[in-house]
Amino acid sequence: MKLSLFSLTAVVALSVLLTPASISALPAPSNGVVSFNNHRVVRINVRNEAELKALTDNQDSLGFDYFTHEKVIGAHIDIRIPPQSFSKFQALKLDYSTLVENLQTVLDQEKHENDQYQQVYAAADTWFQGYHSYADHQSWLSTQIANNPGKASKISAGKSFQSRDQAGIKIGSGPNHVVFHGTQHAREWISTMVVEYLIDQLLKGTDSRVAGYLQKYTFHIIPIMNPDGFVITQTSDRMHRKNAQSNGGCLGTDTNRNWGFKWNTGGSSSNPCADDYMGPSAFSSPEATNIAAYLRSLPKVVSYIDFHSYSQLWMVPYGYTGTRPGTYTYMNGLAQKAAAALRAVNGVSFTTGDIYNTIYPASGSSTDYAYSIGVTAPFAVELRDTGRYGFSLPAAQILPSGTETWAAFAAILDNIQV
């Protein structure tokens, strides 16, 4: 669907006054919460090299926020466009369709649903029927640990930049370690909920295989890998992706471009205002550094999963190169089993493959790092959906996302070679 023409004399005049940095940083609203009123989310079909260059050349000056990062010809790229940049975007004459006409209306609906949910929360076990505050996630995790003595214990990978705990839970007693987390990217809220659903299943699910899993594996699970960024998405900027380290006037390092393996070798930005900013040096972010150290501290990590959203992908290394690693067939075989098990639950399709060829080149990512230190089956997962709601996946999809991801996770546990 093509957009109707967007007449914006006043906004065009305003955009002349705005520097690129001030567009990227977004205007500070009076109530301290960034408004996305009239921000559009569009999907661009990149037809040739010139169009790719036009996008790249204008991404900073027009304040594009990349929701997906596949920057190659033939790709579909989703971006958020501030209203003051829209006429200039139209002048680029790209082939695009509109996913969201006004992002703020989607966010208002999300907030409305969450507010409604809060009213019924106290009455029943409705944790997976809504999204939650950072404080509530902390208390939920503490409750799980307190309710399962001898089975679960508290872990922490360390402190975030703003000294929040990268808190988690350890479940099971097996010799083979499995580590996974959600919310490395702050705005990807479904990843927090799905990781917590997997915790819930390991602790009290009805799956008859669980007892075997807890003897074979020890699970180390951190629902919120990037707590500072998560708090930003709940207090000031729902679309924040990065951590909270200030870099030259723009907020945050993309921690998933900051890990210390093949850092700064493509698919990341040196511009502190870019949403895939790699940071000034490898492991400059405490969040990535801490998780890496935690992984290295374990004797035998047979799987690591970094849960993201959105795009419905179950991916394996590498992200930094299109050359497949030696054990690609083993890893992608597990990903294919996961995707098949996932699809069998609710009919949702996930694509598998290596990061570089399946989604986009990305260096300094968690999954590549995990593979580099000997984790035999590391995955980067992009959960629901494919762009209809994007990062604001309706709360009604939390449980179905949880049940299907549990099936995928179990398929991996059933088939992993230890």
Nearer CB in complex with Zn ion: 40/308 = 308
Task: Name the segment binding Zn ion (CB under 5 A); options: 39-47, 56-64, 177-185, 346-354.
Answer: 177-185
Q: How far is the CB of 308 from Zn ion (least distance, A)?
A: 3
What's the min distance (Å) between Cβ of 111 and Zn ion? 22
CA distances 192 to 40, 103, 373, Å, are 25, 22, 25
Kindly state the smallest distance separating residue 310's Cβ from Zn ion, in Å: 9
Task: List the interface residues with Zn ion, window 21-50 (CB under 5 A).
Answer: none
Q: Please state the closest distance from residue 225 (CB atom) to Zn ion, in A.
A: 10
> In angstroms, how far is the first alpha carbon of the chain from the final one?
50
Decide whether 185 or 337 has the Cβ nearer to Zn ion. 185
Give the number of residues in contact with Zn ion, rule: CB under 5 A. 2
Residues 294-353 binding Zn ion (CB under 5 A) are 308
Residue closer to Zn ion, measured from CB, 172 or 252: 252
Among residues 70, 196, 382, 404, which one is catalytic?
382
CB 129, min distance to Zn ion, A: 24
> Which tokens in the block code for residue 372?
């580099």
Q: Is residue 382 flagged as an active site residue?
A: yes
Q: Which region among 155-163, 180-188, 242-250, 315-323 touches Zn ion (by CB under 5 A)?
A: 180-188
| CB nearer to Zn ion: pick between 185 and 240 | 185
Report the residue from 177, 185, 216, 257 that binds Zn ion according to the rule CB under 5 A: 185
Nearer to Zn ion, 191 or 289 (CB): 191
Please state the closest distance from residue 185 (CB atom) to Zn ion, in A: 3
Q: Is residue 187 a contact point for Zn ion (CB under 5 A)?
A: no
User: Looking at beta carbons only, is 67 or 213 nearer to Zn ion?
Assistant: 67
Contact footprint for Zn ion (CB under 5 A): 185, 308
**Catalytic amino acids?**
382
